[in-house]
Amino acid sequence: MLRFVIRRLLLLVPILLGLSILVFAWIRALPGGPAEALLGERLTPESRQQIEEQYGLDDPVFVQYWRYLKTTVVDRDLGTSINTRRPVSEELKERFPATIELAVAAMLFAMVLGVPLGYVAAKRYGGPVDQASLVVSLLGVSMPIFFLAILLKYIFAIQLGLLPTVGRISVLIDIEHPTNFYVLDAIIAGDPEALWDVIKHLILPAIALGSIPLAIVARITRAATLDVQNEDYVRTARAKGLPPRIVDTRHIFRNALLPIATIIGLQTGLLLSGAVLTETVFAWPGMGTWLVEAIDNRNYPVLQGGILFVSLVFVLVNLLVDLSYALINPRIRVS
Amino acid sequence: MSVAEAEAREVQFEAPAGLWRDAWHRLRHNPSAMVGFALIGLFVFVAVFAPVIAPEDPRTGDLSRLEGSCCPGPSAEHWFGIDQQGRDEFSRVVYGARYSLLIGVVSVAVGLSIGLVLGAIAGYFGGVADSVLMRLMDIMLSIPGLLLAIGIVAMLGPGITQIMVAVGVTQIPIFARLMRGSVLAARENDYVTAARAVGVSKPAILGSHILPNAMSPVIVQATLALATAIIDVAGLGFLGLGPQDPATPEWGTMLTDTTRYLQTAPHLALIPGIAIVISVLGFNLVGDGLREALDPKFRGRA
């Protein structure tokens, strides 16, 4: 087990190195550069030269790549954002928790609703819950996430006035942000009013972002439960007179969880795509809006640092998912 | 003609017709697939006859219609209301069907053709070609589709052709994997061994024996891919990476600014959004229906 983890972690090095080259090449292939994006019409050859010198963009590309690699690995420095002039790592510390908080809330929503829905649908195959689960999964994959976000905003925020429309917290509430996970920050501050405010801001974006995972989780849970239900060991367990509750939990549900764990891992990428759109609708200050803005502004340091960081998290999550198989299913031995 | 020859001809002529007739028979008895066909029919009809259906030009507006505030809602004269530039929203949604259909179909065609060729090569020739191509596909699959499309559009610049390329590229790996799997499965069939034994060349075997038999999962996937493509195109438009001219009546682009007017003019957001959902739903319903109809596991059950 430990050897497996170490080998997978070592494998990260070439993957990240390759990715960093790819991202670097892609960024330089974007038409225009930071100077054009910053100054637009007012760009003069002198001002362009000045900006390029300031950020070392006048050096040959491989010199730039080497310097980027050296500062990132040796100095653990991701550089300075060209637009805000703040360290990229500092912005990352604010943006990343925002997106993770949103993604975790979305995943929670999808699991808490999707797993029981799919499970009950399979147990009552062909019944009303089953029909409902089919409609939910069909709508979930047919509804563009940004349209759902706009709809939710229109109904719950504008028509009913129940929930806030933008941002992570009301401007009037002032608490410390030691972690930048606002839910945790509010708990640390011991401020129930702030906590409620933060949760209210989270609800709509989380539902919008969680809609596709909800559809997928419900469908997979249903299919997995239907499959497992017909296994020989389930019939044996029933035949030897185990109470149905025990068969349901230990034999059926536990084995049905396996494909669900896989799906959760695969959702990480989808959540990132969705986060870009959801964050745009709800003006959520997360990674999605940050990176899209950085593309617009040709903010090279933010793109280099941000994308690489996201990829690192992505690979780590997949490793965790692989490990979780072993925990859920002892039949799988990681080797 | 010997008996064996006659039988061979019969099999050749009957089998494909039988598969499709059978599938169609089952599709006809699947109500949700029929709803899907109706939705797609409506979508294609509107797209083709847009100039006849739309009462006004979708690009030019009349600001005097705005009456100070934005924007008059649905009325007898303007069924879907007026947008923030004084244009008839109904005409814009109708013309929008053209863009979604055109961009969707072309981008899936791009992804499908490249994907099929790569998948067929990987599956049929195996070896190094297989490993290299499939690892490349794995890498592409590991990047979330919309982000990959954003990256490509950012590199190529805004424009309809660029969107088609970007969305098409994100579809390549799915088709390549599918095709590789189908080819690997079909390659082991007796009729392929027989063809090889009588000396038919590799490309000819691939073209006339393996590909036709591997088509049904591809058709299912293409239908579902159209749904994804329409959503992705709208997503790019919504993020402001749509067609270069912002007056273009593309559904996603039409949604971009509307969150600002949500309080006064919700129809601007709701109507193009519903149009997207209807067309995507159509392709998803038909795709699911086709999958059931073409899957041998379901055969004879309808």
Question: What would the pLDDT profile of B203-222 be if each residue is shown by its tens digit?
Answer: 888 778 777 777 788 888 89
Alpha-carbon distance values, A8 to A12, A72, A323, A328 (Å) = 7, 22, 11, 20
Identity of residue A273? S
- Kindly report the number of other CB atoms within 10 A of residue B270's CB atom: 18
Candidates B43, B169, B259, B291, partner chain A, best to mutate (most A CBs within 10 A): B259
| Residue A168: half-sphere exposure toward Cβ, Cα within 13 Å | 23
**Cβ of A29 under 8 Å from any chain B Cβ?**
yes
For the entire predicted model, the pTM comes to 0.83
Asked if A67 contacts A56 with a C-beta cutoff of 8 angstroms, the reply is: yes
Cis peptide before B71 (omega within 30 of 0): yes
State residue A205's pLDDT score: 94
Contact A147 B262 (CB under 8 A): no
Decide if the complex's ipTM is over 0.90: no
Which residues lie closer than 8 Å to B101 by C-beta, 6 or more apart?
B43, B44, B47, B279
Closest CA to B87 of B55, B43, B41: B55
Percent of chain B at pLDDT above 90?
Answer: 26
Q: Indicate the residue of B143, B146, B281 with minimum beta-carbon distance to A276.
A: B146
pLDDT in tens, B139-154: 787 777 888 898 899 8
Q: Indicate the residue of A147, A273, A295 with minimum beta-carbon distance to B146.
A: A273
What is the rounded average pLDDT of the residues A169-181? 83
In DSSP terms, which residues pair with A80 in a beta bridge? A87
Length of chain A: 335
- Kindly report the number of other CB atoms within 10 A of residue B30's CB atom: 19
What is the rounded average pLDDT of the residues A155-180? 85
Residue A229 has pLDDT above 70, yes or no: yes
In DSSP terms, which residues pair with A87 in a beta bridge? A80
Cα angle vertex B80, ends B77, B83, to 5°?
Answer: 100
The CA distance from B274 to A119, in Å, is 30
Asked if A302 contacts A91 with a C-beta cutoff of 8 angstroms, the reply is: yes
pLDDT in tens, B39-66: 999 999 999 998 888 788 887 777 777 7
What is the rounded average pLDDT of the residues A2-8? 81
- Kindly report the number of other CB atoms within 10 A of residue B225's CB atom: 27
> pLDDT-derived band of residue B298, with 50, 70 and 90 as boundaries?
low
Residues of B near A (CB-CB distance < 8 A)?
142-147, 150-151, 154-155, 157, 227, 231, 234-235, 238-239, 252, 255, 258-259, 262-263, 266, 269-270, 273, 276-277, 280-281, 284-285, 288
Residue A217 has pLDDT above 70, yes or no: yes
State residue B233's pLDDT score: 92
State the virtual CA torsion across B43, B44, B48, B52 in degrees, nearest 10: -40
Strand (E) or helix (H) holding B242: none
State residue B169's pLDDT score: 94
Q: Return mean pLDDT, chain A.
A: 84
pLDDT in tens, A16-62: 888 888 888 888 888 878 888 877 777 788 888 888 887 778 888 88
> pLDDT-derived band of residue B276, with 50, 70 and 90 as boundaries?
very high
Q: Indicate the residue of A31, A146, A295 with minimum beta-carbon distance to B238.
A: A146
State residue A335's pLDDT score: 45
Q: Indicate the residue of A31, A144, A158 with minimum beta-carbon distance to B234.
A: A144
Alpha-carbon distance values, B19 to B22, B24, B66, B101 (Å) = 5, 9, 57, 28
**Cβ of A277 under 8 Å from any chain B Cβ?**
yes
Chain B residues whose CB is inside 8 A of the A26 CB are 151, 155
Residue A323 has pLDDT above 80, yes or no: no
State the virtual CA torsion across B12, B18, B19, B25 in degrees, nearest 10: 170
State residue B13's pLDDT score: 46
In DSSP terms, which residues pair with A307 in a beta bridge? none
Contact A31 B155 (CB under 8 A): yes
What's the burial of B242, exposed, middle or buried (CB within 10 Å: 0-12/13-18/19+)? buried
Which residues lie closer than 8 Å to A256 by C-beta, 6 or more apart?
A119, A221, A224, A225, A227, A228
Ranking A2-6, A70-74, A327-331 by mean pLDDT, the lowest is A327-331
Chain B residues whose CB is inside 8 A of the A139 CB are 281
Residue B297 has pLDDT above 70, yes or no: no
